[in-house]
Amino acid sequence: MDIRKNAFSKTPVWFLLLLLVVVPLSSGRLQADQETTTPQAPKPVKNLEEKLKRFRLFMGAEMKRWQVPGIGVGIYKDGRILFSEGFGYRDVEKKLPVTSNTLFAIGSASKAFTAMDVQILVDDGKVDWDKTVQTYLPDFKLKDEVATARLTVRDLVCHRSGLPRHDGLWYGTSLSRKDIYDRLRYLDFSADLRSAFQYNNLMFLTAGYLVGKLTNSSWEEFTRQRIFEPLGMASSNFSVEDSKKSDDYSLPYQKKEGKVVEVPFRNIDSIGPAGSINSNVNDILRWVQFHLNKGKVGEKQVVSEAGQREVFTPSMFMREPMLSVQPDKQSIMSYGLGWFLETYRGHKLVHHGGAIDGFYFLNGFLPNDNIGVVVLTNLAGTPFLQISMGYILDMILGLDPVWEKLNLERFEEAKKEEEKAKDKDKEEAAERVQGTKPSHPLEAYTGEFEHPAYGVIAIELKDNTLQGKHFSFDFKLEHWHYDVFKASDHLPKVTFLANLKGDIDQLSVSVESAVAPVVFTRKPSEAMKDPKFLTQFQGTYQIMGMTLTVSLKGSTLFADITGQPTAELVPYKGTEFMFKGREGSSIKFILEKDAVTEIVVITQAGTVRGKKIK
């Protein structure tokens, strides 16, 4: 998964990579070159000890340049582990060293495990990759009806659903996996099904949810029993809470204003199938060996050879490659089932990265060369992981070394990007309209504003400052201009909207840059949904010579007036209700001595009053 500055940032939340030349098929899939090579006896790496000694020196020096607290590295080739070590510290303050057993979050690299879970179910005859999700989850629903009916299990794990990231739905939430799954139906699409590669964690959540449903278990338990245990990944787990119970785990760190600081662990259990696994060098090397051994552990075939090839077969072409290990940054990339696919200096490369607050991970294979590399770090988003992997690949393949020089170039590029970020802040400030003020008193902007997918944003006034809360994030709102406020850290700018009555009843915020800003609507008080409160408004009213009848069905009021269709009354505030579907029109019940005596009907044409007659 990608580390995010905030849940609604335009910067992508999860770092990953890869590809291979692809050829379209009539079915819409992409097929990799399936040529096989004649097995050869393992070839020793020339001058291995000398190369590893130089590699250790490189890592020690360059970790200081990049301000990386700690890194774990594993290298596998031709059936044996060449390297499994740690560098730096897993706890900077206590000077606790990283070892090959130190647990790190692997973020989005968890996706490969989820895709393999589904492949195991395919081998078991319980799933067909190309049948619809609704075949197995009848209640599956998206906002797009065509996508709902046609989206396949394969579509879930190759980022071609048509949905953009929508990470603000799960990042920092306390919602359960089922809660998030149920809210998918309210998310806007930015592309048609299978028309574009759009990285999406929520579809992998759905794949993991499907695994749990079909096995009467959970994604965690199935992955543990069918992958972790057969592979001997005894230290790996599914929650940072479990990592913290270990005697060898890393703390998370990130750079802030040029300094490396410890940050809180981010619990992402609800999005687990997309990124909650924690592991170490030794366990991931078992995962590497399993893949390079064509789905086998020893003599046991954990997944079929055909199944193992399937996950490494391109399913979606990428028009705009994500972060790559390519030295020249030129790459043709595709996505398999939980894996990025490309070539590295002429060698087929399969890989995936992952990032979440304070951690970054990269795992890659050269399947035709029987080489695997694992790199884990406790510094969020550092480009040094790609540099380390590229250095290792050149070293093991015996290619001309390019990454020592490229390392310095990438470092200078990173510094320039930091400066550009500062310039963007200046550009933003220049667009601010000076001398404006909010259209309402600050108290008018307070309340709870709700969206069916993104939940509630609560705004309150403290010390004459608007302060908000969304999921687990607290933030302050600074007046920017007019009715636009700039949020600290979590949200981008928030625009408050007034209705035809002049009341602030909505706020708009760009929670997903690929679609239109999401509108959150003011929630009425809970009392206005209570049948005991609503009962008092039932009755018959005389208005302009016509009869208006108000009735209660469940917890909803309805109004019937002569010659007009029945109208649902939507709670607004106090004793006032809006006519559903008729913007600006409302009915207000007038109470005297705790009893309703009359109504006021407000429309764009005017206001009329009516007496209660029974």
* Structural domain contains residue 198: yes
Contact 33, 200 (CB under 8 A): no
Residues 411 and 446 in one domain: no
Q: Does any domain span residue 16? A: no
Residues 6+ apart with CB under 8 A from 145: none
Is the model's pLDDT at 69 over the cut of 80? yes
Does the residue 62 lie in any domain?
Answer: yes
Which pLDDT band holds residue 564 (cuts at 50, 70, 90)?
confident
Compute the half-sphere exposure of residue 23: CA atoms within 13 Å on the CB side of its CA. 5
Residues 286 and 354 in one domain: yes
pLDDT tens per residue across span 439-470: 999 999 999 999 999 999 999 999 999 999 99
pLDDT value for 210: 98
Q: How far apart are CA 153 and CA 102, in angstroms?
A: 34
Angle between the 110-123 and 201-214 helix axes, to the nearest 10 degrees? 40
Q: Is the pLDDT of residue 289 over 50?
A: yes
pLDDT tens digits, one per residue of 328-346: 877 789 999 999 999 999 9
- Average of pLDDT values for 217-222? 98
Whether residue 215 is found in the same domain as residue 141: yes
CA distance 241 to 550: 53
Residues composing the chain = 614
Which residues are CB-neighbours of 25 under 8 A, at least 6 positions away? 31
Same domain assignment for residues 466 and 600: no
Does the structure show a pLDDT above 80 at 56?
A: yes
pLDDT at 31: 35
CATH number, residue 448: 2.40.128.600
Higher local confidence (pLDDT), 30 or 569: 569
Q: Which residues pair with 481 in a beta bridge?
A: 484
Residue with tokens 């790199």: 375
Higher-confidence residue: 35 or 394? 394
Q: Are residues 510 and 546 in the same domain?
A: no
Task: Find the mean pLDDT for residues 19-31.
Answer: 29
* Amino acid symbol at 482: Y
Last residue of a domain, one of 522, 551, 568: 522
Residue 551 pLDDT > 90, yes or no?
Answer: yes
Residue 13 is assigned to a structural domain of this protein: no
pTM over 0.85: yes
The percentage of residues in the chain with a pLDDT greater than 90, rounded to a whole number, is 79
Whether 9 is in a domain gets the answer no
Split into its structural domains, the chain has a count of: 3
Domain's final residue, options 352, 384, 419: 419
- The boundaries of the domain holding residue 415 are 23-32+45-419
Residue 280 dihedral angles phi and psi, to the nearest 5°: -135, 175
Q: Are residues 114 and 164 in the same domain?
A: yes
pLDDT of amino acid 330: 78
Work out the average pLDDT over 344-366: 96
Domain co-membership, 407 together with 448: no
CATH, residue 207? 3.40.710.10
List, as one string, the DSSP characters of 603-614: ETTEEEEEEE--
Q: Considering Cα of 257, then 68, then 390, then 76, what sign does the dihedral take?
A: negative
Whole-angstrom Cα distance, residue 238 to residue 211?
Answer: 15
What tokens does 432 get? 């601010």
Q: Are residues 357 and 467 in the same domain?
A: no
Residues 459 and 408 occupy one common structural domain? no
Split at pLDDT 50, 70, 90, the class of 1 is low
For position 578, which CATH number holds?
2.40.128.50
- Summarize the confidence of residues 100-114 as an average pLDDT: 98
> Does residue 68 sit within a domain?
yes
Rounded CA gap, 600 and 307, in Å? 68
43 band by pLDDT with thresholds 50, 70 and 90 = low
Contact 452, 175 (CB under 8 A): no
What is the average per-residue pLDDT within 307-320? 94
pLDDT of residue 416: 83
Q: Rounded to whole angstroms, what are the CA distances from 203 to 186, 274, 386, 496?
A: 14, 8, 26, 31
Co-location of 361 and 452 in the same domain: no
Same domain, residue pair 458 and 394: no
Q: Which of 367, 349, 313, 268 is nearest to 119 (CA)?
A: 313
42 has a pLDDT exceeding 80 = no
**C-alpha count within 13 angstroms, C-beta hemisphere, residue 614:** 1
Residues 6+ apart with CB under 8 A from 612: 539, 540, 541, 596, 597, 598, 599
**Averaged pLDDT, 109-123:** 98
Does the residue 308 lie in any domain? yes
Q: Does the pLDDT at position 6 exceed 70?
A: no
Q: Is 40 within a domain?
A: no
Instruction: Based on the fold, state whether residues 234 and 132 are members of the same structural domain.
Output: yes
Of 522, 551, 571, the domain-final residue = 522
pLDDT the model gives residue 322: 80
